[in-house]
Amino acid sequence: MLPNPKTLSFRLNRTISLEELSEQIVLSGFKLEAVSSSKEQREFYDTFEWQAFGKRVAIVKQNKTLSLVDLNTGQQIASAPFAKNSSSFFADALPPSIVKDELTSCSTLRAFSRLCMLDVISFEYRILDDNKKTIATLTSESLCLTEKKSQGAFLHRFALSPLRGYEEDAAHVAQSLATLDEESTPLDFKEYFLLIMHEAEHHVRGYSAKIMFTLNPHAPIHASARQLLQFTCSVMRMNEQGIIKDIDSEFLHDYRVAIRRTRSVMKQLKGVFDAGNTIYFLNLFRELGKRTNELRDRDVYLLRKESYFNYLPPFLQPSLQLFFRNIAASRQPLHKQFFHYLSSSDYQSSLKEWELFINHEAPPDVEQAPNAFCSTKDVAVESIKKAWRKVIHHGRQISRATTDEELHVLRIDCKKLRYLLEFFSSIFSSETITPVIRQLKELQENLGDFVDFGVQLRFLQEELATKAEEKLLAASIGGLMTTLFQKQEAARLKFHKTFSSFDHKETSQLFHDLLTCTLI
């Protein structure tokens, strides 16, 4: 395809009457012809993590059509019918189309949620030359947020789209139109999108569960630890609404990771907070985590639905529907229970108490928290060293039989080390920390698979015990168990190989470099 000529857009600070517009076009040597006018609703969608925006795509719904627009050029990439009127949708639930392909490449885990709803009044015109040939189309738009209708339009925009071969003429018209409002400014599609998001009070790309902030290596660890805990607490807070509204399973997942990270900081950085508070809050977060376990288990099974089906021969697949129906049914009360808890005064007061604690700047009593004033870099190096030694020590002790318990313990050691590396990643140079994390990740994946398959096997075993009378379901579960068992055994067999590549001179050198190098 030949690329379409670039649309020239600009923002106006006032509405322009048809007469004014027409006169201005005539002055530029052309004529204006009205084509249509409309009042429609326009909606924008993205995931909580702005994954479409990250790929420079805006998702727009208008006129029962879902369109993907290139944020850089403002041109439509693809569109598909979309009559559904819900506040969120999953990409893989869309009928086959380019839109579906593009959105599934953004995310299949996260739902695309409605970001805002706009009332758009638009007028379409044609700009004609002396031969009455169209040289460009002109769209004039006024936008207001549906929920703030009474406040009127917050944005007036002209978009002039030249027809191929008439770019120069259109540029001349655009120059002339710009004189209608001295304060008019060029407005590309990305700016237009950001203005709308700003009006809807969305902080674009304002969420990431990844640790992105920078610690001061020379600051006392008490201050840095508080910084970490404030971050994990903000992640928990940001995910609460998504869990309550049950938008997608990632809200609960990120919430749980934030709890685990919180606990890890409190537990691993010993002597940084006073013992009384440490025990109290560790207990609070352990209990909070526990409340989410069963719900998360159900989410994980539902996410595995497709692969479970693929594990089985076709004739056993239909009976598995019942299994997933049961999971979905048992998930409902668990979700209800947890979102009630999140809305309860009990939870709110606990978290407020926690927020007070982590926002309290005054350093703790040295007797109660003897390490609070140690420098962040010293604590980072020491705690990473200790955690790494523990992984190596436990790993080397694992017998040839590689029992479930041995691998489970090592998995927890690895997690602890990983959290420390992530917490303190900003004080090391990325060239030294990235390969260390990469090495650890490989080992963690192996151990994760192993433990995961074990958990699934136990769950299915319990299911089998209660559903034995339904022959086909029992056969499906049996089939799944066989596959999972084989996969777990494969992970077990792989362990020694994976661990020896971790417990290797090269990795050891990487850790040595990391812990002895000059910190940034």
In angstroms, the CA 140 to CA 118 distance is 15
Residue 419 in contact with other proteins, rule: CB under 8 A: no
- Whole-angstrom distance, CA of residue 430 vs CA of residue 514: 10
Compute how many residues bind other proteins; rule: CB under 8 A.
Answer: 11
Minimum CB distance to other proteins, residue 461 (Å):
59
**How many CA atoms within 13 Å lie on the side-chain side of 129?**
14
Of 2, 212, 362, 401, the one binding other proteins (CB under 8 A) is: 2
Q: CB burial class (10 A; 0-12, 13-18, 19+) of residue 397?
A: exposed
Near other proteins in 155-174, by CB under 8 A: 163-166
Q: Between 107 and 146, how does the x/- string for binding to other proteins read (CB under 8 A)?
A: ----------------------x-xxxx------------
Least CB distance from residue 6 to other proteins, whole Å? 14
Comparing CB distances to other proteins, the nearer of 76 and 185 is 76
Residue 281: partners with Cβ closer than 8 Å, 6 or more residues away: 266, 354, 357
Closest distance to other proteins from the beta carbon of 137 (Å): 10
> Is residue 79 classed exposed, middle or buried when 0-12, 13-18 and 19+ CB atoms within 10 A define those classes?
middle
Pair 73, 189: CB distance under 8 Å: yes
Q: How far is the CB of 466 from other proteins (least distance, A)?
A: 59
Pick between residue 134 and residue 216 the one whose CB is nearest to other proteins.
Answer: 134
478 contacts 458 by C-beta, under 8 angstroms: no
State the minimum distance, in angstroms, from the CB of residue 131 to other proteins.
4
In angstroms, give the least distance from the CB of 25 to other proteins: 17
Q: Are 69 and 76 in contact (CB under 8 A)?
A: yes
78 binds other proteins (CB under 8 A): no
Nearest distance from residue 160's CB to other proteins, in Å? 14
Q: Which is nearer to other proteins, 33 or 382 (CB)?
A: 33
* 40-76: b (≥16 Cβ within 10 Å) or e: eebbbbbbbbbbbbeeebbbbbbeeebbbbebebbee
- Comparing CB distances to other proteins, the nearer of 129 and 449 is 129
Per-position b or e across 362-378, b if 16+ CB within 10 A of its CB? eebeeeebebbebbbbe
Between 2 and 356, name the residue whose CB sits nearer to other proteins: 2
**DSSP per residue, 245-290:** HT--HHHHHHHHHHHHHHHHHHHHSTTSS-HHHHHHHHHHHHHHHH
Q: Judged by CB under 8 A, does residue 356 bind other proteins?
A: no
Residue (1 or 212) nearer to other proteins, CB: 1
- At its nearest, how many Å lie between other proteins and the CB of residue 76? 13
Nearer to other proteins, 132 or 210 (CB): 132
Q: How many CA atoms lie within 13 A of 463 on its CB side?
A: 25
**Smallest separation (angstroms) from other proteins to the CB of 29:** 15
129 or 513, CB closer to other proteins?
Answer: 129
Closest to other proteins by CB, 4 vs 283, is: 4
Q: Which residues bind other proteins (CB under 8 A)?
A: 1-2, 129, 131-134, 163-166
